[in-house]
């Protein structure tokens, strides 16, 4: 039996999670799921970064794959450094899309992601306009809808995660196009990427 469980885990590591796996505070990934950066997402990201640079936009990876235990360490550190706001943008272990191996935080080289430096602004606007051409979406788009969970402005009153223009997730071309067509980037439109995702039900051996 133990061998079967181990085989199950290895297979899931090799295959990764489905691209439409829902990950949030209520749908955590298990501790054992440690797939590393996913090759399709990494090559799509390389293509995106190359294209951006041809448009004069520079993008560096600020944060990529994070394992369950790494996420725990990040959360602990943020709660010490920024106790009043950590809840807004740091997920607990298992609850971060970074554990999927398909999510990346991009930044203009040398800046912090939350910096409102005009170079970051250029990068983030470029991502909004172009990420879907490479199969990426912005997981936490800007919304002007006031009620939970849409109130995700910079200083939210009630929210799970603030607007994160730097956080992109690879979902494949077809799903990314579907989300664009549904208007998920429109601040007045309540559609979110999470509406297109499914809980990953087969992960508990």
Rounded to an integer, what distance in angstroms lies between the CA atom of residue 63 and that of residue 61?
A: 5
Among residues 9 and 64, whose Cβ is nearest to Zn ion? 64
Radius of gyration of the chain (CA): 17
Among residues 23 and 52, whose Cβ is nearest to Zn ion? 23
Among residues 106 and 175, whose Cβ is nearest to Zn ion? 106
**String marking each residue 135-174 x if it binds Zn ion according to CB under 5 A:** --------------------------------x-------
- Per-residue tokens: 178: 């579907």
Question: Binder to Zn ion among 105, 117, 128, 177 (CB under 5 A)?
Answer: 105
Rounded to an integer, what distance in angstroms lies between the CA atom of residue 195 and that of residue 88?
A: 20
| Residue number with the smallest Cβ distance to Zn ion | 167
**Are the C-beta atoms of 186 and 146 separated by less than 8 Å?**
no
DSSP annotation of 166: E
Burial class (CB in 10 A: 0-12, 13-18, 19+), 182: middle
Nearest to 33 by CA among 105, 106, 96, 104: 96
Among residues 163 and 167, whose Cβ is nearest to Zn ion? 167
Burial class (CB in 10 A: 0-12, 13-18, 19+), 114: middle
Among residues 161 and 185, whose Cβ is nearest to Zn ion? 161
Q: Is the peptide bond before 149 cis (omega within 30 degrees of 0)?
A: yes
**Are the C-beta atoms of 135 and 44 separated by less than 8 Å?**
yes
Among residues 92 and 202, whose Cβ is nearest to Zn ion? 92
Report the greatest alpha carbon distance in the chain: 56
Binding site for Zn ion (CB under 5 A): 105, 167
């Amino acid at each position: 039996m133990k061998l079967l469980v181990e085989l199950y885990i290895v297979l899931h590591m090799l295959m990764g999670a489905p691209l439409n796996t829902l990950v949030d505070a209520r749908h955590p990934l298990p501790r054992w799921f440690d797939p590393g950066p996913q090759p399709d997402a990494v090559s799509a990201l390389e293509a995106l970064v190359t294209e951006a640079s041809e448009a004069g936009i520079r993008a560096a990876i600020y944060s990529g794959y994070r394992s369950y235990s790494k996420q725990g360490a990040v959360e602990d550190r943020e709660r010490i450094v920024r106790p009043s706001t950590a809840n807004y943008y740091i997920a607990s272990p298992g609850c971060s899309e970074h554990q999927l191996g398909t999510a990346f935080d991009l930044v203009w080289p040398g800046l912090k992601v939350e910096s409102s430096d005009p170079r970051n602004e250029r990068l983030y606007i470029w991502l909004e306009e172009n990420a879907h051409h490479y199969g990426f979406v912005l997981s936490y788009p800007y919304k002007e809808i006031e009620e939970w969970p849409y109130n995700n402005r910079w200083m939210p009153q009630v929210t799970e995660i603030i607007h994160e223009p730097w956080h992109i997730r690879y979902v494949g071309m077809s799903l990314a196009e579907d989300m664009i067509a549904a208007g998920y980037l429109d601040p007045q439109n309540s559609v979110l990427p999470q509406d297109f995702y499914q809980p990953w039900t087969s992960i508990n051996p």
